[in-house]
Chains A and B, each alone.
Chain A
Amino acid sequence: MKPPRFDYERPTSLDEAVAVLVANEGAKVLAGGQSLIPMMNFRLASPPVLVDISRIPDMEQIAVADGQLSIGGLVTHQAVAASSEVVRVLPVVAEAAALIGHLAIRNRGTVGGSLAHSDPAAEWPLLCRLVDSRIRVHGPQGPGIVPGDQLNVGFLETCLGEHDILTGVDFTLPPPDSCWAFVEFTRRHGDFALAMVGVNLGINSDAITDPRVVLGALDSTPIRAHEVEEALVGQPPTDETFDAAAALAAEVCNPVDDVHATAGYRRHLATVLTARALRAARDRERMR
């Protein structure tokens, strides 16, 4: 359980990093390493070259400006979870980040790494569909933008080119009176989730407006549950409304049987967690 041999480069600029990726077939980006290094220790991954981007400047900022929350690709999950700025303007993101693994993992793992790794049970890909977002990328053609809901396309697969580096994400802040919730189900705290649900909606004169419901760990990528959202629009935020809408979540997702749970159990979790998340979002609004 030791990693295989590799060459190691630690560039100090994005263009230098891209040049190393281009020059070395199979080279991989190393940031926090909390997904890549376990894979290498298992010898599931054997990149011949690692490009450590941790000393490239200007990727560690959290900033709020012009109705946007910007998070640099090298920001750690723990920095997000503990950021008073994030808690103030987009608390669903801080709450989800705090659920990633354990403290020691969060102290090294990065936002960019989680998004680029694209695990089906990762929180960050779900957040990028729950909230309007743009992924900042730097590649051989220089800087670019990918819509946040287009980044993660499959199991451990993004739409990025093999020489692209994910440098950050920008979230459009929803209205400040948005009701939100993020719930996940694990058998043990810190495990990969068996199911996750993120919810963001408005409640106006006892009617739901602009609902977003995103399911995670229930398919190869997070799923925007449009049918659930359609069953919520304009309805009163009652338990009856929520239960009826949540029942549709089981149909929308596409889980598989594996050693951790059956597909049927995961569909059940989809319904339970969607209802729970909707209630939590509504009750958070009622506390205001």
Chain B
Amino acid sequence: MTLPISVTVNGTVYQSEVTPRLLLVDFLRENLRLVGTNAGCEHGVCGTCTVLLDGNSVRSCLMFTVQADRTEIITVEGLADGDELHPMQRAFTANHALQCGFCTPGMMISAIDVVGRYPDVDEAELREHLSGNICRCTGYHNIIVAVQEAAVELKGGQ
């Protein structure tokens, strides 16, 4: 069985025919070649597959592509505006908040959703929210500093 879908990813509309069991993370990576989103644990606990779907952070490994029909998705590739990095990307760079970078796309997407909903989030709450994104390299400290810095800038822009 294949089903037609129409999904907008980073502003571009894609029409496709997909098999129901194709996970969204694999559609993004394999079909659209948007390999910034990563597949880690494939059961929702590591966070590296996180994308924004209709403005909400979601685990793309816990969605079938057919469920994304008529939705708008932002992946890490969609954060920058041309050559201008998103404030979260600039803060991660400035604060050395990544090493291998494997967790980084999902981490930034999750952080964008958290600070978007809770612009005044304190450090303890921020650490709790981001505890669903696992990083093996950094020890999280620089990530937290970067997110707090980006939060200030994003709040100012609201």
User: Which residues of A pack against B, CB within 8 Å?
Assistant: 1-8, 10, 30, 33-34, 37-38, 41-42, 50, 52, 54, 78, 82, 101-105, 107-108, 188-190
Chain B residues near A8 (CB-CB < 8 A): 1, 3, 20, 64, 66
Q: Please report the C-alpha to C-alpha distance between residue A190 and residue B117 in the assembled complex, in whole angstroms.
A: 18
Output the least CB separation between B129 and chain A (Å): 6
30 contacts between A and B (CB under 8 A): A1-B42, A5-B19, A5-B21, A7-B20, A33-B62, A34-B59, A37-B62, A37-B63, A41-B43, A42-B43, A54-B67, A78-B56, A101-B44, A102-B110, A102-B129, A103-B57, A103-B129, A104-B44, A104-B56, A104-B59, A105-B59, A107-B53, A107-B57, A107-B58, A108-B58, A108-B62, A108-B63, A188-B131, A189-B131, A190-B132
In contact, B132 and A101 (Cβ under 8 angstroms): yes
CB distance from B87 to the nearest CB of A (A): 19
A54 to B64, CA, bound (A): 13
Q: Does B83 interact with chain A (Cβ within 8 Å)?
A: no
Tell me, yes or no, whether B28 is within 8 Å of chain A by CB: no
Quote the shortest CB–CB distance from B145 to chain A (angstroms): 20
Most buried by B among A2, A33, A37, A50: A37
Residues of B within 8 A of A37 (CB): 44, 61-64
B84 CB-CB contact with A under 8 Å: no
A102 contact set on B, CB distance < 8 A: 47, 110, 129, 131-132
User: In the assembled complex, which residues on chain A have CB atoms less than 8 Å from the CB atom of B57?
Assistant: 103-104, 107
Residues of A within 8 A of B63 (CB): 33, 37, 108
Q: Tell whether B23 is near chain A: CB-to-CB under 8 Å.
A: yes
Interface of B is mostly: mixed
Flag if B21 contacts A6 (CB, 8 Å): yes
B21 lies within 8 A of A103 (CB): no
The one of B43, B67, B128, B132 that contacts A38, using a Cβ cutoff of 8 Å? B43
Least CB distance, A129 to chain B, in whole angstroms: 27
Q: Which residue of B lies closest to A36 (CB)?
A: B62
B52-89 near A? 1/0 per residue, CB < 8 Å: 01001111011110110000000000000000000000
Of all A-B residue pairs in the complex, the 10 with the closest CB atoms, nearest first, are A102-B132, A8-B20, A38-B43, A107-B56, A1-B42, A104-B57, A37-B62, A189-B131, A189-B128, A3-B21
Q: Say yes or no: A104-B67 contact (C-beta < 8 A), given A41-B61, A50-B20, A190-B132.
A: no
The CA-CA distance from A211 to B72 in the complex, in Å, is: 47
Instruction: List 10 other contacts, CB 8 Å, given A8-B66, A103-B110.
Output: A5-B20, A38-B62, A82-B117, A102-B129, A103-B113, A104-B56, A104-B110, A108-B59, A188-B131, A190-B131
Q: Within 8 Å CB of B67, what residues of A?
A: 30, 33, 52, 54
Structural contact, A105 and B23, CB atoms closer than 8 A: no
Within 8 A of A (CB), among B26-51: 26, 42-44, 47, 50
Query: How close is A28's CB to chain B, nearest CB, in angstroms?
Result: 13
Binary contact readout B1-14 vs A (1 if CB under 8 angstroms, 0 otherwise)? 10100000000000
Let me know if B132 and A2 touch, CB within 8 A: no
Question: B50 to chain A: closest CB distance in Å?
Answer: 5
Q: In the docked arrangement, what's the CA distance between A103 and B67, Å?
A: 19
